[in-house]
Amino acid sequence: MNIKIREKQLCEMLKGFVSFFCEDGWFRFSRFTNQQSIYYFEKTPDTFYPKTRATAGMKLDCITDAEEISFDFRVFAASSRTFYSVDLYIDGIFCDQMYVMNFLRKKSGHVSFALPEGTHRLTVYFPNLMRMDLANICLTGANFAESVSSKMKILCLGDSITQGYDAYHSSLSYVNRLSGVLDAEILNQAVGGEIFDAKILDEDLPFDPDLVIVAYGTNDWAVQPDREAFLMAAEAFFGRIKAIYPDKKLVYIAPIWRGDSKKPFGTQEETPVGEFESSVAALKELAEENGLFVVDGFRLTPHISDFFADQILHPNDLGFGFYAENLLRELRKESLI
């Protein structure tokens, strides 16, 4: 018996989205509300807006006795990166993948993963830095397929690091590692290059989180015109997130180590915001004043370039491993998870 996953069942099995579209049999899912998408389109139509269409943090999660899962896909650029992967986990174990180094060589295709005999929990992670549409999702040899209820819900807001730059395997970003370890449904609303901007928040977001993680600041330090603008944007965001989620657990992850903290992005001048460490300290103080629990980002990743894909800023798969492990330790220590 084969089970072809239809719209209703797919929406139950897929985690990490707030809206979806179906056209000519193709399903496209969005991490953002219509209000947020319009704001991004008006704000930065050629830069941030395309990144909002990435499938970051999305996963198909079900229990089934299928012999194989297969689906058609098509990908669209949603970042400056060209690689993408689809990762298969069986009962929490990373078992198979489709990895593509350059999406220009494989913009569409068909994926099939063989599954072991018996009943298993099947989790498929989709690309963090590409938009992937799905069609013809089939569970071959299946007598049943059930969606999985998550143990908690987490909203993640941040920049490229939280979106998943540069986990070469989509499941190995720190956000997706949290999702797997905590058995959590995560809505990842991070956008590469983003800074503190209170206008991106939608108080009518159809996602009720148990925990909200905020992780901006490193881009603010590099691009804000001065210290005053840097602090005002952060304070406005902290105040707004507290107003929207007054009874939720709120966490601020301060910027992690970066290898170019003296000369950002290879420039010859320090930023007008000031010295990196003191700027980060100011953000941590503001977050605490607004009632957020602060995680010291400097304690999350190694201060060694080999753990960063670009040697300075974006963790690679190994760097994200340290990030997730140390973040989990901090959250558990404070009974936030």
- Give the contacts of 44 (CB within 8 A, at least 6 positions apart): none
d(CA 60, CA 123): 6
- Kindly tell me if the per-residue pLDDT of 257 is higher than 70: yes
Domain ranges of the chain: 3-147, 152-333
Q: What is the mean pLDDT of the chain?
A: 96
Half-sphere exposure of 237 (CA within 13 A, CB side): 29
pLDDT tens-digit series, residues 146-189: 999 999 999 999 999 999 999 999 999 999 999 999 999 999 99
pLDDT at 269 (0 to 100): 63
How is the beta sheet containing 211-215 ordered, strand by strand? 184-188, 152-158, 211-215, 249-253, 293-295
> What ranges in the chain are assigned the alpha helix state H?
7-13, 34-43, 48-52, 160-163, 174-182, 218-223, 227-244, 276-289, 317-333
Please report which confidence band the pLDDT of residue 255 belongs to, taking 50, 70 and 90 as the band edges. very high
pLDDT at 265 (0 to 100): 64
pLDDT tens-digit series, residues 85-125: 999 999 999 999 999 999 999 999 999 999 999 999 999 99
DSSP secondary structure string for all residues of 249-267: EEEEEPPPP-TTSSSGGG-
Give the right CATH number for 3-147 from 1.10.260.40, 2.60.120.260, 3.30.56.10, 1.20.120.1200: 2.60.120.260
d(CA 89, CA 59): 10
* Among 32, 297, 280, CA closest to 161: 297
- Diameter of the chain measured on Cα atoms: 65
Please report which confidence band the pLDDT of residue 267 belongs to, taking 50, 70 and 90 as the band edges. low
d(CA 195, CA 233): 8
pLDDT tens-digit series, residues 5-34: 999 999 999 999 999 999 999 999 999 999
Please report which confidence band the pLDDT of residue 315 belongs to, taking 50, 70 and 90 as the band edges. very high
- Kindly tell me if the per-residue pLDDT of 287 is higher than 90: yes
d(CA 182, CA 179): 6
- Kindly tell me if the per-residue pLDDT of 268 is higher than 60: no
- Give the mean pLDDT of 320-337: 97
Q: Which overall architecture, per CATH, does domain 152-333 show?
A: 3-Layer(aba) Sandwich (3.40)
DSSP state of 45: T
- Kindly tell me if the per-residue pLDDT of 266 is higher than 70: no
DSSP secondary structure string for all residues of 51-109: HHTS-TT-EEEEEE--SEEEEEEEEEE-SS---EEEEEEETTEEEEEEEES-GGG-SEE
User: What value does the CA radius of gyration of the chain take, rounded to a whole number of Å?
Assistant: 20
Within 10 A of 94 (CB to CB), how many other CB atoms are there?
15
Half-sphere exposure of 251 (CA within 13 A, CB side): 24
